[in-house]
Structure 1
Amino acid sequence: MKNITVSSIKKKKNQEKITMITAYDALFAKLFDGEVDILLVGDSLAMSFGGEKDTLPIGMDEMIYHTKAVCRGAEKSLVVIDMPFGSYDTKEKALHNAIRAYKESGASAIKLEGGIEKAETIALLSENGIAVMGHIGLKPQFVRAEGGYKVKGKEEGEAQSLLRDAKALEESGVFALVLEGVKAEVAQEVARSVSVPVIGIGSGSQVDGQVLVWSDMLGFFEGFTPKFVRRYLEGASLIRQGVREYAKDVREGRFPSEAESY
């Protein structure tokens, strides 16, 4: 299997569903590598592994650190780094931080949140050789400003706004879009309206691909399970059981055995 590139992702539009999950370290990146098309080093790690209430506290240093680790573990899947909150609020800052992300992390692309208002920023990044994945709909970095996580596309005005955002980002040069928390029928319309792949999360099945946070889909995160998540493994239970068996063997003198000793 050849390395997956930005170009090969674009070619999957209307041809093959795109698969994407998050990854935050080399160990799991190596396990996921080649099984999915894209590994997203998401700012979701602030919540999943940092215990934060939202994604906003994480910064560029942390994102680059984790992305470098993922790139060391991934040889086939395309690696995308999330630009954290506050790292692209001006065009100049966005270019500076995106160049830094490219140079230091080894990622093949960056992802940032925003619609029409970020079109000029994305165009600038594209002009400077940086591959950009957009993110519209429910935007986690806006959760404090919007007072929570709210499904988009319920009203006609919202649906039209999403369509305008998608077209603006397509024209600005994104190679793909993440569409989060959008009513399924609106998501389908958005996917049909643009020539770049639209990857959904909580946005129905009639888009060009899907993305999930790996700790959600594999059952490691037990805080809550969003409606759009399907669990493919009870990871937390398996890990907990393994640790219990290890602790029991140590306490009862069964580990280490003679074969496990020097």
Structure 2
Amino acid sequence: MSVHSEIKRVTTETLRKMKFDKEKITMLTAYDYTVAKLVDAGGVDAILVGDSASNVMAGHETTLPITLDQMIYHAQSVVRGVSRALVVVDLPFGTYQSDPQMALHSAVRIMKESGAHAIKIEGGKEIEDSIKNLINAGIPVCGHLGLTPQSIYQFGTYKVRAKEEEEAQKLIADAQLLEKLGCFAVVLEKIPAALAKKVTDSISIPTIGIGAGSDCDGQVLVFHDMVGMNKGFSPKFLRRYLDLYEQITGAVSQYVRDVKTSDFPNQNESY
């Protein structure tokens, strides 16, 4: 019997308790109903409907082009497939940065139209007013510090962030600010493991790492990377649990051969 056979919804409170109990939090991305159903059945605690859908589902080079309407569509599809995991949705680039009222409007649309449980937003002190606005409206917010892909053109690189003392100190201060503002968790992306540990120890809300070492309270990976559907993306932090690229292209090639040679469909597969 599965450990999760008794289905109990994961909430933001569940995640806080998991940190307190020193139980690691698991998170994966999903962008559609079928994958969401699979990931939820596998027992992850949280599903991120990431703006990485821009890369994975739409083939864009960055996360910047994805729109609010597209994020809502992905979130709706995921929510329909989930019965246990907490569903967190990224606010896409340009929907919150400069205007706290716009941030609230964008987040309310995601929550109302998709039925998701929480919002994720990139940045620290510079988006303080936007975060305040969401939390005052009763919307659960997950922060995101370190490498923030929406700012890629400002950084100019996907390299590890906060290696220098000044940036590291700002990151710790930002994490503490996010906690003070009322965020329920914070994603730490591509920062030194020692810094991630320092941040994790200095706040009472959970940290969820991606390329941030094993001392975070939880881990997140992009589903398509984790199951090996992407060949070209091999960062140091990625562990591939399957090689679906080979298996799927192999299956497709076999199907093509079977159809070409009239092997498929055979008598048993015909009416």
The bucket for the TM-score relative to the shorter chain is over 0.9
4, 8, 12: which one aligns with 1:6: 12
Structure 1 residue aligned with 2:90: 82
For the aligned residue pairs, the C-alpha RMSD in angstroms reads 1.0
CA offsets 1:128-173 (integer angstroms, 9 cap, x no match): 1100000001100000111111312211111111110001110111
Structure 2-normalised TM-score?
0.95
CA distance in 2, matches of 1:38, 1:257: 43
CA distance in 1, matches of 2:269, 2:142: 49
CA offsets 1:180-229 (integer angstroms, 9 cap, x no match): 01100001000001000000000000110000011111110112211110
259, 264, 271: which one aligns with 1:250: 259
Q: What is the one-letter code of the residue matched to 1:72? A: R
Checking the alignment, whether the CA contact within 8 Å between 1:120 and 1:172 is kept in structure 2 is: no
Give the share of equivalent positions with the same residue, in percent.
51
Checking the alignment, whether the CA contact within 8 Å between 1:20 and 1:211 is kept in structure 2 is: yes
Checking the alignment, whether the CA contact within 8 Å between 1:83 and 1:112 is kept in structure 2 is: yes
- Poorly superposed stretches of 4+, deviation over 4 Å: none
Number of aligned residues: 262
Structure 2 residue aligned with 1:143: 152
Is there any run of 5+ residues in structure 1 with no aligned partner, and where?
A: none
Checking the alignment, whether the CA contact within 8 Å between 2:179 and 2:205 is kept in structure 1 is: yes
Is there any run of 5+ residues in structure 2 with no aligned partner, and where?
A: 1-6
- Would you say 1:20 and 2:18 are equivalent positions? no
CA distance in 2, matches of 1:77, 1:259: 41
Checking the alignment, whether the CA contact within 8 Å between 1:39 and 1:79 is kept in structure 2 is: yes
40, 43, 47: which one aligns with 1:39: 47
CA distance in 1, matches of 2:104, 2:209: 26
CA distance in 1, matches of 2:144, 2:184: 11
CA distance in 2, matches of 1:168, 1:119: 8
Checking the alignment, whether the CA contact within 8 Å between 1:249 and 1:255 is kept in structure 2 is: yes
Structure 2 residue aligned with 1:134: 143
Structure 1-normalised TM-score?
0.98
Structure 2 residue aligned with 1:163: 172
